[in-house]
Structure 1
Amino acid sequence: MKSKPGYLVLVLILIISYIINAQTVIQKHLTVNDGLVQSQVTCMLEDRGGNLWIGTFGGLSRWDGIHFENFHTQDGLPSQDVRCSFEIQDGTLLFGTNGGGLGIFDRGSFTILDTSDGLPDNTVRTICQNIHGQIIIGTDRGLCIWQKEIVDTMSIPKKLRGPLITSLSLSPAGDLYCGTYRDGIIIWRSDGKLEYINKATHDLPSNRIRAVMAAGDGKIFVAMIGSGIAVLNNKKKTLWNIENGLPVNSIRTFYQDREGDIYFATLGGGVALYNNGQLKFINKTHGLANNTVWSVYENKAGQIYFGSYEGISIYEKNRLTIYDNAVGLTQNIVTAIEQGQGEEIYMGTYGGGVNILKAESISALSGLGERNVWCISSIKKDELYIGCDSGLFLSTKDALRKLHDKNGLPQSDVYAIHQTRSSEIIIASYDGLFRLRSNVPELIYQDTNPRRSQIFSISETSNGDILLGTRSGILKWNNDKPDTVSVMQLLKEHHIWSILQIADGTTFFGSNSNGLFILENGQLDTLTTKNGLSNNTIYGIIEDDKNYIYLSTHKGINILERKNEIWHIRHLGFNEGLPSEECCQGAAFRDKDNSLWWGTIKGAVRYNPRRELSNSIVPQVHINHIWMFEQEISLPENGDKIEFNHNENYLKFNFIGIDLTAPHKVNYRYRLSGIDKNWVESSRRFVQYTNLPDGQYLFEVKAANQWGNWSKADGLKFIIQPPFWKTWWFILLAIAAISISISLLITYRVKQLMAIERLRTKIAADLHDDIGAGLTEISILGEIVTQVLPDKTDTDVSGMIEKISLRARELIDSMSDIVWLVNPHKESLFDLIARLNDVFETLLEANNIMFNPVNVEALKKVKLKMEHRHHLYLILKEAMLNSIKYSKCRKILLQVAVNIKSMQITLQDDGHGFDTNESHTGNGLRNMRERASILNGKFSIQSGKMQGTVIRINTKLTS
């Protein structure tokens, strides 16, 4: 009886809690239609790589925000029925199953720990880690300690070795609370002692414990099978059950989030959210997929996952709330939103009048019926101006009446109502601009252009000017000249839906289909879909308390943030929880609590920007697949390199940046060393490279969340081996083979040249010794015969003998030239000049001619090929002979100019000379020219009567 007042208060709290939750707070779900392995979700875990692991009655799923990868017994899972999950410090994942033991997932594969390895029982219901870092496993036959392939039961107190363990919870003090199926709660204190909480010690309604949780504030929450909840706080105990407010008595589990809120997952009653003694219920009427909830989990970004019998429902606490006809709106198309002088929110609808949201209860404003409402303004307490498709209405405490102009005529559509700083009320309508004087509309302006008379928005600037957005440009009503409305030349022909000027004077204009115009310091800028907007029709513009700009469009909400003089844009759409992405013109509002409201064609949205998910959590980026042609390659461990053959150079990389909150808004930068000079930005999750040359590579990728914050890069090193003909050993062998071949060729060539040289030497010697000696002998014998013949010997015989002797001497001279030519020791240019000197020495002396070769010692190093020497010798020989025989010269000068690749030989005499233009019947000049041509050289002659003769030979220098 003592607890009745407490029960009564609790009942009232729970009833109130039910009432205030007439709203949709869950908009996103994960189901089998998305790829989930099975609908009944028993446990969840976000691993350190960012993946969400989901245990069900029908297998295990891993979700990276985009794809589901499912695991079954054929993939190594011990049992299809997964009951709990846990990640240890090194990243190894543990999955407790019903009847299959413990599944240990490490480096991409499962191993199984079961009774054959020492596990007390093959049903594992709960896992935790104690203050000593030991992994404690709760089974249907007690606890055990698992330490990498070792199962320890002997360190477990005897009282905890046998009972069926249903739940484990570690308190902040390090005490382990163990819920059992029959024995209540056994507390394994950090000092090793045991204490008990059960029917006998604490008067619990039942010893059959479903779940236990040691909360951060010291309270102990106990869920008993079919008997509700007991909350223990020191020696105080509070019992909750279906009789005093809980929706059901069956509580499946507890979960405490990082803000300290505690969630009760129930079997049939949805989720109860407990905070500071208050309960708030979340069930199917609020968007929960199913009222039977087995598990609750908070991810790193702060999203709460409810694992139910119909998949996962994603709850973003107090971030987005939807109000539609399911919670009491008369119509879903919300066209106007306004806050009253109190906390009430007025929502105008298309065809449903005005709805009033007060204390989370929705009611309709009487009197408007099914009118279309375009705008609402709460200017005075208890007075509400309502712009409709049939004029302007005023709602007061006592009545709703229509306001007429002074002629008693009703106005047409009223789109905006605004009270200026001077307290004047102005009205934008389809037929011009009006002001209210004593609640009587008076026409201020009506343009001759009917499109410019259609006014949709009103905005007051910092200097008190009124800007009006029309179907054809912008009107400005000057506050200093209240009766003058002018047409701004700016955006003169554009249809303007919305206008906002912020504190620094920047003015935003939302157009019908041309995007957002931004006027700043006299400069006009434009943002469109090309710059990242989701749509170019801007229905509403509002600013939050942190100076973010929000645009309501035909395709969701665009959020603008100025970063380094650049507008960064992100979006709120259907994936983020909007009931519809199509917003309504004029239905954009910021309330007194700085929450933002928008009207859509499927209800009103309240958005709390302070509850926006953390932008500091960047995506976890992973290279998850690599393909060589169409074959998947196993990824290496510990950063090892992958090696490919030279023809395995068509590679495709798949990667993902895991962001569970906004997976479709992740952007990427990647680069391949040696190929991409700079980072390449992309929204795609793959890239391929073809015909990669051999070499060492590093592929890197990083990811950014929707706020543009980038992760660190993940990298993969690989090598494309060169073909065997580019390998060091092949090159070394090739160099060795080429070197040996060259060496053999050189050796062979040297031997060949030496043999030729020996042959030439032998030929020269033989010609000199044998043929030369024989010709000399013939010549001498001829002379002797001539001398010994009688004086009266026949003249013919004597002449013939002289001819034989003369011919023999000529042959001796020719043979002497041949012997000199083939002699390998006479190959220099110096030897050639010396030969000329030897040959003509007698004739020169006989004709008293001086032969002067200039600087011939320097020509000893200039080597000439035999053919080259032969033609040069004959050219010079012919030239010198002509000078001696015909020129009557006294001096012959020979000069040789040699550079690296060519030489010039000049032979000059001081004789009588000749006219080069006269024809000459001899062959001497023609032969000299032909020989010079054979040498690819040039032959020139310069002469004149009594001017001497100069012969020049220009030829390449060959040796």
Structure 2
Amino acid sequence: MPIRNRVVNTTLCTICLFLFCASIPATADEPTLARLSFWAPTERMDEFAAAYAEQITPLLKKHGLAASSERGRTTVDSVFARLFSFATPTAFSTRKDSLWDDPAWQDLLQHLGADFRSESESPIRCQFTLYQCPAGAGRQTPAGPGTRRGEWLTFGVQDGLSPEIQAVLSDRDGNLWITGMRDVARYDGENVVTFTQADGLAGDRFFTSSLQDRDGNLWFGTDGGATRYDGESFVTFTAADGLAGDYVISIQQDRNGHLWFGFDAGVTRFDGETFKTFTVQDGLSGDTNELMLHDQDGNLWFGYGFNELSTWNGSEIKGITRYDGKTFKTLTGRDGPIDHPVFSMLQDRHGHLWFGGENRVTRYDGTQSETFTMQDGLLEGRILKIVEDRDGLLWFGSDLKGISRFDGEKWRSSPADSADLRWRSDPTDLTDLRFTTFTTADGLLNDQVRDIVEDDKGYIWVGTIGGGLSRYEGEHFVHFTPSDGLPSQFVYSILQDSTGTMWFGTHGGLVRYDGEDLATFTAKDGLAKDMAQHIVKDIEGNLWIKGLRGPRVTRYDGKVFNVLTLGDSLDIGYVGNPVVDRKGHVWFPASPYGAVCYDGQNWKKISTEDGLLSNHITSLAEDRNGHMWFGGGAGASRYDGESFTSFTLEHIGLKGGVASIGEDQKGHLWFGDFAGSASRYDGETFTAFTNQDGLKSGPVLSFLNDRKGHLWFCIWGGGIVRYDGLVFQDLHHRDGLIADTVHQVYEDRDGDFWIATDSGITRYRPSTKPPTVHLKEAIADRSYGPIRELALPSSQRLVIFTFQGRSFSTPPDRMVYVYRFQGHEDEWQSTRQTEVRYSGLPTGEYLFEVKAVDRDLNYSNPVSLSLTIHPPYRQWTLVGGLCLALMGLVIVSGYAFKKRHDLFVEMEEELQTAHDMQMRLMPTSSPELPGFDIAGRCLPANHVGGDLFQYFPLDDRLVVAMADVTGHAMEAAVPVMMFSGVLESDIGHGYGLEMLFTSLNRTLCNKLDDRTFVCLAMSELDLSTRTFRFANGGSPYPYHFHAATGEVSELQVDAYPLGVRPDTAYTAIEVQLEPGDRIIFYSDGIPEAENVAGDLFGFERTAETIRQGCTENQSAEELIDRLFGSIETFVGSAIQRDDMTCVVMRAE
């Protein structure tokens, strides 16, 4: 009977395992296919087939090449082809090189050429190329932050990109595809993934042709054909398929969805099934087609670029060719729009055609042409690229001198040291040139432009030879410095008047900017001083200008400057920003005398005699209730028109004195200090904010509440920090600010922000383009990948969600995320981490949502995951039903089991042997250490299992490890034995816990499959100091019994199990053990022990059993007996379903 029961159990397990495996979709790795092609006369193809079998096949076999049974695409009639299968593209390249280097192969090709080619001295035309293969993963590297010069941000080798860029493509998902000399890289703002021949691309050099078709496929033109990438595989088309050649120069798609490929031997049209080639015989002006254009009327235009158009045919250039779907028409310089070679073409939004030549561009409106040259401001060189951006600006890329830009309406030139349209104080500096230019003097790293593209967010990207990939930032940042007409680089305040004129307070006077010119006013013009530090506008439109020190202030009515004296000629040492209240009164901080108010006729001084907390007032503000606030070195005072209420620095929560006061959209008051902190007052309580919340170090000199309700913190030395009520984001010199020494921010009527710094002015236009975010994976008992729904048993203690935002304007390390977990915590929370963790979730329905927030506080659309936590017995419902159904099968098949009795006896003996081997991996006795009582025990659920514990005595330390491998029985036993060896080897290196976990994890990620990982709990006990250090990777939290209080607590340390992610960081915690304390390790089989009713032993019952045993001062061995005995009583006759392991350490 025992044998019979074991037979039944073994058979059921085998059948269940079979059904489980059968439920997993069978996937066969798609092979890498290469095609060997020979060109022979069509009429002699049978003859060549015989030669192939007799002469070529034997030599191929010597090189280990046997034709595949795969049937490929139909080739042209003159091609004889066979497919060959390889494990990887690299394996193909290796085998091909070996074949081509074989002299016998070269002799054979020469011999076949003599037989099958008209040129008897030439070898037969033969081609061995990649045909199709699964796309390799590519080489992924984190994208660097780029290098900023002027208003250009450039990415090069140090950022993961090639410096030699041939073409740039922006796909529909917002990724950039950068074609280099020998690779193609995908850049998404977070990572750069580089693809080469080893990943399945054809050819070994890539040219200026790439395209995304209407189906989303990417096409790359190479010297080995055209390669199509659908996100999963690469498929290559060559001359054997019907292309005009293998050297693909250009790619275009017409309105019918047909693809056109340009070669040096004509153009080929591909309709998805067949290829058709057009040459000069069909009407083309030349065979070399460098570029193609599809216009709004459906016509195709062909240009001949560097070759055909550079030569003269008599007295005429061969011109460009237009194809209307039926006929080709060549337009020459005599009867067409151009009289020069063409290297680029574009049709703008008005329908005008632009043709780029050498040192010139021509615009053609369908009836007449207009040519622009270097005399109009166009840069020297061949115009290789023309792009129209979403604002209608035209960008022209030169192969010698950089970029020229034309706005179509207004032509202005840039000074040599600028990177955008500039405004100068001296109008004689403006010249009548027609183009704005961008060169290395403006921030490009190289002037040899190969491509220009606008991405889906509106950014302009430029690919250069030797200078990498550059992004234009001038749309967002424009700087004003003394070279543009400012009298000083020190700018303190900014204001816009009712006419839209901008006013700047600088160290060298008051500056007016009307949109074109800068004009400066000083003491010679009537100012009290040359220095204008603060500007404020009263309700009558007058400007009030105040310097840093002294009693005098200037009022300007638009015509005349009038100088007034504050109060009684007070010798004021410091004056902060003045304020105009709702009554029209003008208030000035007047330290050390308090504050001064001017009501239009009289001056009034407010001081401690009137109720101020201190006379050292440095900041003022009026709140929405009309109350005046006075801030200074001692704190802040509120004046309601009748009395003062004061708040000390300690009450406010600041340390460095009140430097500024502002109000947000909710009416909350904000106080900034001189030490980089701020405090918010909601009318009842103060809440402090520091660097830990997102602020930067430095005095908070001013606030701005913008139209969106974002609060701007101006931090001298720390740049700008913005806060929307949930997220803090910063803006500083690395992003494009002219300097981080910010005094003030002003929002103009157009929504642009003007930022005053110690190095000039930055006009900043925030991006409104939101980032994207994707859920990378959900991790519990294993990684589930980027799923949208997940169900887990309540016995799963830890759930982790990982995510990543993407934005070209915000580096990954500066992206902020807001998330919520409905059903657990419904409020949105923010984090800069790319993962969140939840443990001990009760049964129920949950929804996890996350958004990415970029530097301009733009929020992405949320991504979400629905999580169901169910009782653990659900996972046994299906198994139980299956077992009941299969039991009948077992009974009916009793005779067959009897016949195989002897076989199962043998199996029993082998399993017992395996059991003995696994038990020998674990200690047979406990270590005897002075001052400690230690014991451990493992009860496998089967003959063999996935649990393991070990002791490692190391000098005056003891390392205890307890592991649990996913799965049960033999499924887990083999990885357990492997892990035991790896663990013992790494322990010998003397690593600390953190390094030991990292090393083990890296090894297991390489050794284990995706569904197998190891939960590991490990401790290091210092015998002399009784210090206990602990690290954990997915195991249940150990219990710590505190003898002094009689309480049991968990040692909570979270991290991924070993083998899940190679980049996991592991940390350790430290506990000081007191006499009578216990540490109890246990595997999940203990709390998940289940009785016949489906109830779990549970964590609470486990902790209580441990507490009772420790309270009764049981030894380590007795405590284990008590725990296992309680479990045995609880489960009764139920089958043990998981291994159970427990290790107890008792400090005496």
Q: Match of 2:450, as an amino acid?
A: W
Tell me the CA shift for residue 271 of structure 1.
3.2
Distance in 1 between residues matched to 2:249 and 2:485, nearest whole Å: 42
Distance in 2 between residues matched to 1:689 and 1:157, nearest whole Å: 71
Tell me the CA shift for residue 158 of structure 1.
1.6
Residues 40 and 613 of structure 1, relative CA distance in 2, 3 Å threshold? farther
Residues 143 and 568 of structure 1, relative CA distance in 2, 3 Å threshold? same
Q: Match of 1:185, as an amino acid?
A: I
Tell me the CA shift for residue 52 of structure 1.
1.7
Distance in 1 between residues matched to 2:213 and 2:646, nearest whole Å: 69
2:307 is equivalent to residue 204 of structure 1: no
Residues 243 and 485 of structure 1, relative CA distance in 2, 3 Å threshold? same
2:852 is equivalent to residue 704 of structure 1: yes
Distance in 2 between residues matched to 1:333 and 1:503, nearest whole Å: 30
Q: Match of 1:169, as an amino acid?
A: L
Q: Is the 8 A contact 1:205 1:227 kept in 2?
A: no
SS at match of 2:451: strand
Of 377, 382, 391, 1:245 maps to: 377
Specify the alignment match of 2:617 in structure 1. 455
Of 756, 759, 762, 1:599 maps to: 756
Extract unaligned runs of 5+ from structure 2. 1-147, 310-317, 412-420, 422-435, 791-796, 840-845, 868-874, 899-1148
Specify the alignment match of 1:851 in structure 2. none
Distance in 2 between residues matched to 1:703 and 1:269, nearest whole Å: 42
Of 765, 771, 782, 1:608 maps to: 765
Q: Is the 8 A contact 2:345 2:356 kept in 1?
A: yes
Specify the alignment match of 1:375 in structure 2. 534
Q: Match of 2:746, as an amino acid?
A: F
Q: Is the 8 A contact 2:676 2:697 kept in 1?
A: no
Distance in 2 between residues matched to 1:528 and 1:115, nearest whole Å: 66
**Which is further off, 291-300 or 518-527?**
518-527
Distance in 1 between residues matched to 2:617 and 2:704, nearest whole Å: 19
Residues 497 and 329 of structure 1, relative CA distance in 2, 3 Å threshold? same
Q: Which aligned pairs between 1:497-512 and structure 2 lie closer than 5 A?
A: 497-501=659-663, 505-512=667-674
Specify the alignment match of 2:723 in structure 1. 560
Of 297, 302, 308, 2:453 maps to: 297
Residues 304 and 451 of structure 1, relative CA distance in 2, 3 Å threshold? farther
Tell me the CA shift for residue 109 of structure 1.
5.2
Considering Cα pairs closer than 8 Å and 6+ residues apart, tell me whether 1 or 2 has the greater RCO: 1
SS at match of 2:243: coil
Tell me the CA shift for residue 231 of structure 1.
1.1
Tell me the CA shift for residue 210 of structure 1.
1.0
Distance in 2 between residues matched to 1:455 and 1:219, nearest whole Å: 64
SS at match of 2:335: helix
**Which is further off, 328-337 or 247-256?**
328-337
Tell me the CA shift for residue 36 of structure 1.
0.9
Specify the alignment match of 2:366 in structure 1. 234
The CA deviation string for residues 794-822 of structure 1, in whole angstroms up to 9 with x for no partner, is xxxxxxxxxxxxxxxxxxxxxxxxxxxxx
Tell me the CA shift for residue 388 of structure 1.
2.0
Specify the alignment match of 1:394 in structure 2. 554
Specify the alignment match of 2:33 in structure 1. none
The CA deviation string for residues 707-734 of structure 1, in whole angstroms up to 9 with x for no partner, is 4434445999xxxx99xx9998999699
Specify the alignment match of 2:417 in structure 1. none
Identity %: 20
SS at match of 2:283: helix
Tell me the CA shift for residue 154 of structure 1.
5.5
SS at match of 1:247: coil
Q: Match of 1:618, as an amino acid?
A: T
Tell me the CA shift for residue 549 of structure 1.
2.8
2:379 is equivalent to residue 221 of structure 1: no
Specify the alignment match of 1:85 in structure 2. 210
Q: Which aligned pairs between 1:525-604 and structure 2 lie closer than 5 A?
A: 533=695, 538-553=700-715, 555-561=718-724, 567-574=726-733, 576-580=735-739, 582-585=740-743, 587-604=744-761
Specify the alignment match of 1:385 in structure 2. 545
Of 275, 278, 292, 2:407 maps to: 275
Distance in 2 between residues matched to 1:523 and 1:671, nearest whole Å: 26
The CA deviation string for residues 261-308 of structure 1, in whole angstroms up to 9 with x for no partner, is 332223445434433422462524554444443322222222222223
Q: Which aligned pairs between 1:26-425 and structure 2 lie closer than 5 A?
A: 26=151, 28-37=153-162, 39-57=163-181, 59-77=183-201, 78-97=203-222, 99-108=223-232, 110-147=234-271, 150-153=274-277, 158-160=282-284, 162-181=286-305, 182=309, 183-189=318-324, 191-202=325-336, 204-206=338-340, 208-224=341-357, 226-248=358-380, 250-279=382-411, 281-284=436-439, 286-309=442-465, 310-316=467-473, 318-324=475-481, 327=484, 329=486, 332-339=489-496, 342-349=499-506, 357-359=513-515, 365-366=521-522, 374-377=533-536, 385-389=545-549, 392=552, 394=554, 404=565, 410-425=571-586
Distance in 2 between residues matched to 1:510 and 1:55, nearest whole Å: 49
Q: Match of 1:124, as an amino acid?
A: V
Q: Is the 8 A contact 1:627 1:653 kept in 2?
A: no
Q: Is the 8 A contact 1:255 1:264 kept in 2?
A: yes
Tell me the CA shift for residue 510 of structure 1.
3.3
Q: Match of 2:326, as an amino acid?
A: G
Aligned length: 684
Distance in 1 between residues matched to 2:319 and 2:830, nearest whole Å: 58
Q: Match of 2:213, as an amino acid?
A: I
**Which is further off, 296-305 or 145-154?**
145-154
**TM-score, structure 1 normalization:** 0.59
Distance in 1 between residues matched to 2:809 and 2:577, nearest whole Å: 37
Residues 684 and 569 of structure 1, relative CA distance in 2, 3 Å threshold? closer
Q: Is the 8 A contact 2:555 2:564 kept in 1?
A: no
Q: Match of 1:584, as an amino acid?
A: V
Tell me the CA shift for residue 93 of structure 1.
1.5
The CA deviation string for residues 679-716 of structure 1, in whole angstroms up to 9 with x for no partner, is 999655579999xxxxxxx9999653434434445999
SS at match of 1:33: helix
Distance in 2 between residues matched to 1:575 and 1:661, nearest whole Å: 12
Q: Is the 8 A contact 1:27 1:578 kept in 2?
A: no
Q: Is the 8 A contact 1:373 1:389 kept in 2?
A: no
Tell me the CA shift for residue 30 of structure 1.
1.8
Residues 650 and 194 of structure 1, relative CA distance in 2, 3 Å threshold? farther
The CA deviation string for residues 648-702 of structure 1, in whole angstroms up to 9 with x for no partner, is x999998644333324254669999xx9999999655579999xxxxxxx99996
**Which is further off, 388-397 or 495-504?**
388-397
The CA deviation string for residues 860-887 of structure 1, in whole angstroms up to 9 with x for no partner, is xxxxxxxxxxxxxxxxxxxxxxxxxxxx
Q: Is the 8 A contact 1:499 1:509 kept in 2?
A: yes
Q: Is the 8 A contact 1:534 1:558 kept in 2?
A: yes
Distance in 2 between residues matched to 1:203 and 1:152, nearest whole Å: 29
The CA deviation string for residues 127-169 of structure 1, in whole angstroms up to 9 with x for no partner, is 2211101112223333212355753316998224843223222
Q: Is the 8 A contact 1:25 1:320 kept in 2?
A: no
Extract unaligned runs of 5+ from structure 1. 1-22, 642-648, 691-697, 745-959
Q: Is the 8 A contact 1:622 1:657 kept in 2?
A: no
Tell me the CA shift for residue 382 of structure 1.
8.7
Tell me the CA shift for residue 390 of structure 1.
5.4
**TM-score, structure 2 normalization:** 0.51
Distance in 2 between residues matched to 1:259 and 1:514, nearest whole Å: 40
Q: Highest Rg: 1 or 2?
A: 1
Distance in 2 between residues matched to 1:424 and 1:639, nearest whole Å: 60
Distance in 2 between residues matched to 1:679 and 1:448, nearest whole Å: 45
**Which is further off, 359-368 or 191-200?**
359-368
Distance in 1 between residues matched to 2:653 and 2:828, nearest whole Å: 42
Tell me the CA shift for residue 242 of structure 1.
0.8
Distance in 1 between residues matched to 2:820 and 2:672, nearest whole Å: 38
2:595 is equivalent to residue 433 of structure 1: yes
Q: Is the 8 A contact 2:613 2:636 kept in 1?
A: no
Distance in 1 between residues matched to 2:573 and 2:321, nearest whole Å: 75
Of 798, 809, 829, 1:661 maps to: 809
Tell me the CA shift for residue 101 of structure 1.
3.5
Residues 410 and 634 of structure 1, relative CA distance in 2, 3 Å threshold? closer
